Amino acid sequence: MRQMLAAAALSLASTLTPAFAITGNAPPATGWAARPIVMVIDGRGDLCTGTALAHDLVLTAAHCVALPIPYRARTYQNGASIEVRQIARHPGFSFANYAASRATADIALVKLAAPLPDIIVPAALAAARRVAVGETLTIAGFGVTRNKTDDGLGIPRVAALAVTGKPGSLQVRLIDPATRNARPGLGGCVGDSGGPAYDGEGPLVIGVVSWSTAPNDEEGCGGLTGVTPLLNYRQWIVDTAKKLGSPLAP
């Protein structure tokens, strides 16, 4: 059973609610994997992950910014907090479909009221392509390291995961290649929703973390990590970034 990685997430105040992060013994994120990511926090204190595509523009999951409440971005390096000025969810996103574990356009851009600090180095969009079974994608996020706790929340972590199943243009499933969904391993968990799936060795975003399961399709983390690929949505991101006043390289 899928778990929402952050429709409601663990709050920084340690309030336990359903949500997502990189579970298991994933190492702290450093270097190119860590520099673009920020926390996306709503007015209740619930946390998701986002990827800076410009110093005032963050890519995240649409379900992370679905409520009509204030949001802000926070940098883990120095704790800077910047209000979100405008949210653009992909018009194909359906929260009802997401909640029912059906594939949907779980993609959003958030325009910030001020630039992020220079310590944040924006990522670029990966080339539009389908991924294949067995490929490695790297995810990064601020989620918990153990489900139903706040352990590790707010600390950036990274995990290299393998593509499995039947990857398509609407959904990609990832597994820990060491455990292969047979026992708990690395994967997205509460707080990791909206985080990047990187293509290759560098900050090239090819997808957005959306959901997770425990092994054998049970609710939780450490089994499958669901990613919304950018294949169908890449041009929308480029066009919308331009409309928001933060043009990206096409």
Other CB atoms within 10 Å distance of the CB of residue 72: 18
Domain span at 174? 125-229
Residue 18 confidence (pLDDT): 29
How many domains does the chain fold into?
A: 1
**Is residue 165 one of the residues assigned to a domain?**
yes
| pLDDT, tens digit, 9 for 90 and up, residues 91-118 | 999 999 999 999 999 999 999 999 999 9
d(C-alpha 142, C-alpha 75), whole Å: 11
Whether the pLDDT of residue 13 is over 60: the answer is: no
| pLDDT, tens digit, 9 for 90 and up, residues 54-97 | 999 999 999 999 999 999 999 999 999 999 999 999 999 999 99
Distances (CA, A) of 70 to 95, 110, 117: 18, 12, 21
Say which CATH number the domain at 212 has. 2.40.10.10
Q: Give the pairing of strands 204-212 and 124-125.
A: parallel
Q: Is the model more confident about 27 or about 123?
A: 123
Residue 20 confidence (pLDDT): 40
d(C-alpha 172, C-alpha 244), whole Å: 28
**Is residue 41 one of the residues assigned to a domain?**
no
**Is residue 159 one of the residues assigned to a domain?**
yes
**Is residue 2 one of the residues assigned to a domain?**
no
Query: What per-residue string of b and e applies to 29-61 under the rule 16 or more CB within 10 Å gives b?
Result: beebbbbbbbbbbbeeebbbbbbbbbbbbbbbb
User: pTM of the predicted model, to two decimals?
Assistant: 0.92
Residue 1 confidence (pLDDT): 67
**Which of 19-28, 84-93, 152-161 bottoms out in mean pLDDT, i.e. has the lowest?**
19-28
Whole-angstrom distance between the N-terminal and C-terminal Cα of the chain?
A: 37
Whether the pLDDT of residue 21 is over 60: the answer is: no
Give residue for tokens 């950018």: 230
**Strand residues in the chain grouped as ranges (E):** 3-4, 37-42, 47-54, 57-60, 71-74, 81-89, 108-112, 124-125, 136-141, 157-164, 172-175, 196-199, 204-212, 224-229
**Is residue 54 one of the residues assigned to a domain?**
no
